[in-house]
Amino acid sequence: MNHWIGAPIDRADGILKVTGEASYAADFNFENLIYGIPILSTCAKGKVVKIDDSDALKIPGVLTILTSQNTPEFFPAKSDFGTASQMGEIRLPLQDETIHYAGQYLGVVLAETLESAEEAEKLVKVLVEEEPPILEMEKNLSQAYSPKAFFGEPLPVIRGNFEKAFSEAEIKLEEIYTTPVEHHNPMEPHASIAVWDGENLTLYESTQWVVGARNVVADALKLPREKVKIISWFVGGGFGCKGFIWPHTLLSSLAAMQMKRPVKVLLSRRHLFTTVGHRPATCQKLTLGASRSGKISALKHHTITHTSFVGEFLEGSGGASQNLYDFPNLQVIYQVVRLNKGTPTFMRAPGESTGLFALESLLDELSYKLKIDPIELRLKNYAERHPETGLPWSSSNLKECLQIGAEKFGWKNRNPDPGSMKQGNLSLGWGMAVSMFPGFRSPGSARVKILPDNTARVESATQDMGTGTYTTMKQIAAEILSLPPEKINSFLGDSSYPAAPISGGSMTSASVGPAVEAAAKKALQHLIDTAIKDKASLFYRCSPDDLQAKNGNLIFKTDPSKAETFGEILLRNNLPFLEGEAFIKPDQPDKKYAFQSHGAQFAEVLVDPYLKTIRLNRMVGIFDVGKILNLKTARSQAIGGMIMGIGMALYEKTVYDLTTGRVVNDNLSDYLIPVMADIPSIDVEFIDKPDPYFNSLGVRGLGEIGITGTAAAIANAVYHATGIRIRDLPITLEKLL
Amino acid sequence: MKPFTYQRPFTVQEALHSIRNTPGSIFLAGGTNLVDMMKLEVINPSVLIDINQLPLNKIEPLPNGGIQIGSLVRNSDLGFHPLIRKNYPVLSQAVLSGASPQLRNMATVGGNLMQKTRCSYYRDEISPCSKRNPGSGCSALKGYHAEHAILGTSSSCIATHPSDMCVALSALEAIIHIESEKEKRKIAASEFHLLPGNSPEKETVLEPYEIIVMIELPPLPPNTTSCYIKVSHRALYEFALSSAAVVLEWEGEKIKQGRIALGGVAAKPWRCFQAERLLENSLPDEKLFRSCAETALQGAEPQKENQYKVELTKQVICKALSTAFKRSV
Ligand SMILES: Cc1cc2nc3c(=O)[nH]c(=O)nc-3n(C[C@H](O)[C@H](O)[C@H](O)COP(=O)(O)OP(=O)(O)OC[C@H]3O[C@@H](n4cnc5c(N)ncnc54)[C@H](O)[C@@H]3O)c2cc1C
Ligand code: SF4
């Protein structure tokens, strides 16, 4: 059969989105709506002495202003992935006077119109006792702490004997790579509308995790979890900053309960730079020992990064060094400094994207030192098994990725000498890097209903952030039910559907997909059971094994002309629907295989020898992510990831004022992300071989791998073009002048 | 945004009468800059005088061979106008290198001249900033200033004027026509914007009760070449880190005279008069271009984070000169 899974069909929500009919959180409107605008601290460290809201309250339409003085107590919600409840910032909002970062919420103005709320917010006078903020991690290393664990794995990671292997190595290299704070900047800013009916709280949110949002809100307000419902039908991008639950969601909920009216809290672009997370800066020192032939015997990956005073986060940059190559002697060390900045959070491929920039740049440096082709160097250090656990790969096609990518790109025509290749007056640079992202899965569930009109619906409390989940989930059901996908509707983004994990860690397809498959199988089984018990059916008393679904009919396998539509069976039995529900849990205990996605990226840059402008000319990305559910949406994901990687390589950087701690470039004019004119032709190809052991569908998910390796491939290409090695992102022209 | 009222005059006289007699009023043209500043509450007018109905939206040839451009001509219409593309390519290139197509469709010539600096501290409404709040000090000096000015700065302000169009106007020696209720006056494009000195809040010679009615482009001798070079991180949709407009008049193999104006480096389009003198009656070559660049940047006073702009601007000048030279042969 295998005919709908993998098909490059159009997005289920495409027309809704381009016609403006898709309702994003902020699009919901209610009678009697109150608008809430957060009041942000302009100071990065200190204490609120007094908040004078007398002028603000005079603005017509202003109802009240919540501050720490008049906000009722929130209750600490668990911050724990396992119980599906994680706050981005652990501190509860408006409960005390301490200021930990610029942009922290000091209150929320509630008004009849957005305009009055905004005007009033500017009139609130906050008197603070300021202290000098701690803003630079390098200068505050004495305050650093060493985290003891990362997602349950003890730290530091020590494998073999690094010191000994390094001291014996023929070739030694040590370099420092730095990456700046970056902000996710999804197109759609966060929004939260809370509707309270005296007993039930419904939130219209822009979130990557409806279940997590429900649990946090319920716990923080001491409501039973079943009384809270989160709706997030469409999400205009998240990239991680809508994963955990941030203070604005608690404020809209609390305000709605207080005011007994619906409350809409909208964040502006400026708010997106403070309280909804960011990728923290990293300073990574890599120390490497290798033989002259290019076998790396020793590697130390020492990452200095930061978190806030009100949350825990670790950018796991060393993970790349731990999981990708066969490094027999390894140390992965972290130091974390607390800074007066908002709390960092996951941003597309947290850890891998920053870590691979460092590691894959270093390998390029080694390739020059040893005069070995960069691809050959990677193959020399290829890990036949998972380097950390020693488990065999369930499937690893890194070598194929490298080979196909090299062919498509024309790598063999590369003259490795820096500055040796030209296009017109411009210097041409070719660089490559490996991509990788671990295979993650979580428990997931789904329900599939067959309806009397020969259609079906899929329900799951997962979410589609623009990734294509609406489309791929119905393709899976289509495959099992043998219904064309246009006869199936997916219903997602509602916490009252069967529970699903956060849309993060590239695990939605791998976690929810198998649940949809199993639920569809159960629904079909119920249909067959109903038919064979139905005296009026052609299939009365037949063996289930003799029957199969085909194009909306149940048929005899041996005689397809004997057919009954799904609808006939349901209608005859007076059934409004037949459903199957499934909960699928990864079988963790008997870990026999290691699961990881791999890829290879190639970049061609053109550098103006005088002006030093860097323009990308083309990129090739080959990815091994298991089975592809929909070639079209998959390709978009991979391209989107690579484009975000281009941003990371060449443009993105959040600038903080080092006196005030405020973000200087908190808008899309100053925080540069690539525009279409910066994006070259991007050629993406997938290996598309099912992972035999990861799950029933063989999919590993691909939301994040696209961004990994891009920055290094571009940095390596810039070196090849210019002979200048930039180890500090973003690579901007002034660094080449 | 603060509440405001709105008026829509139909004649220049009406508009000038309103602006003079209505406290807290300001002209609204395309709104691409003003509305931004109002949302940020950096500019808080109580009355908007929408001038979009005034009859100032034409591009017309002048008897002397020049061109006059109404101040309400949209940036797109200017950039794509056949006469501008043919006779003043440097202006077309400069205008079309700025902003995005959507913005250029709204933005007017008058608004482009009057647009505010992009200094983030000026726009954040809270940091000390002498341009926004006279005498409060300059946050950029000790803060972030990688995109700031290197020429003509003062200890009270190091902001740049961000326009691309104005750089070309300066090199073309355009003339800006201004009217008030009482008088009409003209001013050279290179003298329209002011250096910060001790009063960075005063950015142009335009008085609050005056309106820009049009821009006059003097005719160029037929044997003239020109070009605009702009450098930014992104390929498009970004203000210039550094830019140069160059106009060269040829006499045989020789440059008869040349004009160089720079963008992204000062509070005004920066004319390089001394460097221009080196061009007079000289044979073009890389050495000449480099010495023009060196001369032009002699007085540069970069800060810690924008030192790169000195060498970058020299490269931009060389590139602009050599491109205009190539166009001559
Ligand atoms: C995201 C973004 C990117 C941009 N990038 C660039 C760029 O790369 N290069 C570039 O050059 N520009 C750029 N711009 C600026 C753009 O060119 C200006 O916003 C635009 O030219 C302003 O014109 P407007 O008609 O919209 O002016 P408005 O916003 O209507 O007015 C601006 C000011 O001019 C005054 N004014 C307008 N007309 C007159 C008149 N006739 N007489 C007297 N006063 C008048 C108004 O009172 C107001 O103070 C960018 C703008 C944005 C928002
Ligand atoms: S550079 Fe000028 S505009 Fe910027 S902060 Fe200083 S005074 Fe204000």
The domain that holds B276 is classified in CATH as 3.30.390.50
Provide the pLDDT for residue A588: 63
Instruction: Note whether residue B266 is domain-resident.
Output: yes
Q: Which of B52, B70, B87 is the last residue of a domain?
A: B52
Residues of chain B neighbouring A122 (CB-CB closer than 8 A): 41, 125
Taking residues B32-54, report their average pLDDT: 97
Q: Which of the listed residues B32, B78, B104 should we mutate to test ligand 1's pocket, taking the one with most ligand atoms within 8 A of CB?
A: B32
Residues of chain A neighbouring B297 (CB-CB closer than 8 A): none
The domain that holds B37 is classified in CATH as 3.30.43.10
Using CA atoms, how far residue A172 sits from A146, A168, A175, A295, A363, in Å, is: 26, 10, 10, 12, 12
Q: Nearest ligand, CA of residue B26?
A: 1
Ligand 1 neighbourhood includes B114 CB (under 6 angstroms): yes
Q: Which atom of ligand 2 is nearest to the CA of B159?
A: 1
Ligand 2 neighbourhood includes B161 CB (under 6 angstroms): no
The β-bridge partners of A47 are: A98, A129
Q: Is A159 helix (H, G, I), strand (E, B) or coil?
A: strand
Q: How far away is chain B from the Cα of A161, in angstroms, using its nearest Cα?
A: 43
Q: How far away is chain B from the Cα of A239, in angstroms, using its nearest Cα?
A: 22
Residue bearing tokens 């910066």: A678
A734: nearest CB among B235, B237, B308 = B308
Which DSSP string corresponds to A175-236? Answer: EEEEE--B----SSPPEEEEEE-SS-EEEEE--S-HHHHHHHHHHHTT--GGGEEEE-SB-S
Instruction: Note whether residue B241 is domain-resident.
Output: yes
ω before A76 within 30° of 0 (cis)?
A: no
What is the C-alpha to C-alpha distance for residues A563 and A552, in angstroms, rounded to an integer? 10
Tokens of residue A360, six digits: 């894959």
Q: Do B316 and A611 count as a contact with CB atoms less than 8 A apart? A: yes
Tokens of residue A349, six digits: 């491929």
The β-bridge partners of B26 are: B48
Positions in chain A short of pLDDT 70: 1-2, 588-590
Ligand 2 neighbourhood includes B325 CB (under 6 angstroms): no
Instruction: Select from A243, A180, A168 the least CA-distant residue to A207.
Output: A243
Taking the Cβ of residue A174 and every Cβ of chain B, the question of whether any pair is shorter than 8 Å is answered with no
Q: Do A677 and B237 count as a contact with CB atoms less than 8 A apart? A: yes
Q: Is B204 helix (H, G, I), strand (E, B) or coil?
A: strand
User: Containing domain of residue B292, as a range?
Assistant: 224-326
Ligand 2 neighbourhood includes B267 CB (under 6 angstroms): no
Residues of chain A neighbouring B319 (CB-CB closer than 8 A): 610-611
Taking the Cβ of residue A136 and every Cβ of chain B, the question of whether any pair is shorter than 8 Å is answered with no
Number of domains composing chain B: 2
Q: Atom 35 (ligand 1): residue with closest C-alpha?
A: B111
Q: Which of the listed residues B43, B123, B131, B141 should we mutate to test ligand 2's pocket, taking the one with most ligand atoms within 8 A of CB?
A: B131
Interval A429-473: pLDDT, tens = 999 999 999 999 999 999 999 999 999 999 999 999 999 999 999
What is the C-alpha to C-alpha distance for residues A144 and A314, in angstroms, rounded to an integer? 12
- In one-letter notation, the amino acid at residue B282 is S
Which class in CATH covers the domain with range A282-440+590-736?
Answer: alpha beta
pLDDT greater than 60 at residue B268 = yes
- pTM of the full predicted structure? 0.97
CATH among 3.50.50.60, 3.10.20.740, 3.30.365.10, 1.10.10.410 for A32-132+187-237+242-273: 3.30.365.10
What is the C-alpha to C-alpha distance for residues B149 and A468, in angstroms, rounded to an integer? 46
Ligand 2 neighbourhood includes B131 CB (under 6 angstroms): yes
Q: Which atom of ligand 1 is nearest to the CA of B33?
A: 29
What is the C-alpha to C-alpha distance for residues A427 and A422, in angstroms, rounded to an integer? 5
Domain boundaries, chain A: 14-19+442-584, 32-132+187-237+242-273, 282-440+590-736
Taking the Cβ of residue A660 and every Cβ of chain B, the question of whether any pair is shorter than 8 Å is answered with yes
Q: Which of B52, B70, B89 is the last residue of a domain?
A: B52
Q: How far away is chain B from the Cα of A415, in angstroms, using its nearest Cα?
A: 27
Q: Atom 2 (ligand 2): residue with closest C-alpha?
A: B157
Q: Do A118 and B1 count as a contact with CB atoms less than 8 A apart? A: yes
Taking residues B100-106, report their average pLDDT: 97
> Cβ contacts of residue A247 below 8 Å, gap of 6+?
A38, A89, A92, A93, A105, A275
A140 half-sphere exposure, CB direction, 13 A CA radius: 16
Instruction: Note whether residue B9 is domain-resident.
Output: yes
Distance of CA A103 from the midpoint of ligand 2 (Å) = 22
Tokens of residue A713, six digits: 């491939």
CB-CB contact of A225 with A495 (8 Å): no
Residues of chain B neighbouring A670 (CB-CB closer than 8 A): 118, 120
The β-bridge partners of A220 are: none
For A674, the closest chain B residue by CA position comes to: B234
Provide the pLDDT for residue A1: 47
Q: Do A733 and B233 count as a contact with CB atoms less than 8 A apart? A: yes
Taking residues B47-57, report their average pLDDT: 98
CB-CB contact of B206 with B245 (8 Å): no
Provide the pLDDT for residue B227: 98
End-to-end CA distance of chain B: 54
Q: Atom 51 (ligand 1): residue with closest C-alpha?
A: B99
Average pLDDT, chain B: 97
Distance of CA B292 from the midpoint of ligand 1 (Å) = 31
Instruction: Note whether residue B139 is domain-resident.
Output: no
Q: Do B231 and A122 count as a contact with CB atoms less than 8 A apart? A: no
Top residue of A268, A270, A611, A617 to mutate, by most chain B CBs within 10 Å, is A611
CB-CB contact of A333 with A302 (8 Å): yes
Instruction: Select from B32, B105, B27 the least CA-distant residue to B73.
Output: B105
Residues of A involved in catalysis: 704
Residues of chain B neighbouring A669 (CB-CB closer than 8 A): 118
Which DSSP string corresponds to A35-88? Answer: EEEEEEPS-SSEEEEEEE-HHHHHSTTEEEEEETTTPPPP-PPP-BGGGTB-BS
Residue bearing tokens 């406290």: B23
Tokens of residue A507, six digits: 């695990």
Provide the pLDDT for residue A77: 85
Residues of chain A neighbouring B41 (CB-CB closer than 8 A): 122
- Pick left, alpha or beta for residue A592 (phi over 0 → left; psi -120 to 50 → alpha; otherwise beta): alpha
Q: Which of the listed residues B127, B130, B198, B265 should we mutate to test ligand 2's pocket, taking the one with most ligand atoms within 8 A of CB?
A: B130
Residues of chain B neighbouring A610 (CB-CB closer than 8 A): 315, 318-319
Q: Do B143 and A122 count as a contact with CB atoms less than 8 A apart? A: no
Tokens of residue B102, six digits: 């959507």
Tokens of residue A245, six digits: 């639950």
Q: How far away is chain B from the Cα of A119, in angstroms, using its nearest Cα?
A: 6
Residue A637 dihedral angles phi and psi, to the nearest 5°: -60, -45
Residue bearing tokens 């199993």: A518
A611: nearest CB among B124, B234, B315 = B315
> Using N-to-C axis directions, what is the helix angle for B286-296 and B308-328, rounded to 10°?
140
Taking residues B153-173, report their average pLDDT: 98
Ligand 1 neighbourhood includes B169 CB (under 6 angstroms): no
Taking the Cβ of residue A675 and every Cβ of chain B, the question of whether any pair is shorter than 8 Å is answered with yes
A368 half-sphere exposure, CB direction, 13 A CA radius: 18
Ligand 1 neighbourhood includes B110 CB (under 6 angstroms): yes
What percent of chain B shows pLDDT beyond 90? 98
Q: Which atom of ligand 1 is nearest to the CA of B56?
A: 41
Residues of chain B neighbouring A737 (CB-CB closer than 8 A): 308, 311-312, 315
Which secondary structure element, helix H or strand E, spans residue B7, and what is its range? strand B5-7
**Chain A contacts in chain B segment 57-86 (CB below 8 A):** none
Ligand 1 neighbourhood includes B164 CB (under 6 angstroms): yes
Q: Do A651 and B233 count as a contact with CB atoms less than 8 A apart? A: yes
Q: Do B312 and A734 count as a contact with CB atoms less than 8 A apart? A: yes
Q: For the complex shown, is ipTM > 0.90?
A: yes
> Using N-to-C axis directions, what is the helix angle for A352-370 and A631-650, rounded to 10°?
70
Provide the pLDDT for residue A590: 60
pLDDT greater than 70 at residue B215 = yes
Q: Atom 50 (ligand 1): residue with closest C-alpha?
A: B99
Q: Which atom of ligand 2 is nearest to the CA of B121?
A: 5
Which class in CATH covers the domain with range A14-19+442-584?
Answer: alpha beta
Taking the Cβ of residue B233 and every Cβ of chain A, the question of whether any pair is shorter than 8 Å is answered with yes
Taking the Cβ of residue A64 and every Cβ of chain B, the question of whether any pair is shorter than 8 Å is answered with no
What is the C-alpha to C-alpha distance for residues B84 and B89, in angstroms, rounded to an integer? 6
Tokens of residue A519, six digits: 């639920």
Residue A80 dihedral angles phi and psi, to the nearest 5°: -165, 120
B235: nearest CB among A658, A662, A677 = A677
What is the C-alpha to C-alpha distance for residues A332 and A387, in angstroms, rounded to an integer? 13
Using CA atoms, how far residue B145 sits from A51, A613, A657, B119, B141, in Å, is: 32, 20, 10, 8, 7
